[in-house]
Amino acid sequence: MDDERIVEQPDESDDKELKEWITTTLPMVIEDIVELEKKWITAKVPIILEGTVELAGALVLLAAFHMGHKDRDQLAEFTGVSLERVNKFAERLEHAGVWLRDGTTKCNWTDAENVALAFWYDVGLAVGAIKET
């Protein structure tokens, strides 16, 4: 007896729903994630207060991780960090090999044991506190 599986082909309405979700819902989900991460950062690290370069670096790094970093204008608008500062972070993160040409972020934040250390190290690179050789 053959194992037959029926695979339904998506119709145009599925495509339309997906495109609508990507353009309307996904940005709100990403915004919520970044806002939650911002609250987590300020709660876990009370020394970092609103308006500091470290918080700006952390927000840009997290937003770029979720939405990519190719569109710097969008990243600046989304995080509320000036385009000039985003570009400076980008220059440092690209030089360090954290931000890749394809728009992705190369990071070690998924290692549960070292997540905080790896994340704040990358923030240090972004803000220029740590120099990558």
Label residue 14 by pLDDT band (50, 70, 90). low
Strand pairing partners for 47? none
**Residue ranges per domain, the chain?**
51-133
- Between 8 and 119, the more confident residue is 119
Closest CA to 53 of 76, 34, 81: 81
pLDDT over 70 percentage in the chain = 66
Phi, psi dihedral angles at 48 (to 5 degrees): -90, 115
pLDDT by residue (tens digit) across 39-86?
Answer: 666 665 555 556 788 889 988 998 999 889 999 999 999 888 999 999
pLDDT at 122 over 50: yes
Q: Which residue has the higher pLDDT, 9 or 95?
A: 95
Structure tokens at 53: 């370069």
Count of Cβ atoms closer than 10 Å to residue 129 Cβ = 14
Express the helix, strand and coil content of the chain in percent, nearest 5 each.
60, 0, 35
pTM here is 0.64
- Cα dihedral angle (27, 31, 34, 36), rounded to 10 degrees? -130
CA proximity to 126, closest of 107, 101, 102: 107
6-10, 17-21, 49-53: the lowest-pLDDT one: 6-10
User: What's the CA gap between 80 and 133, in Å, rounded?
Assistant: 30
Q: Residue 54 has which token pair?
A: 């470290």
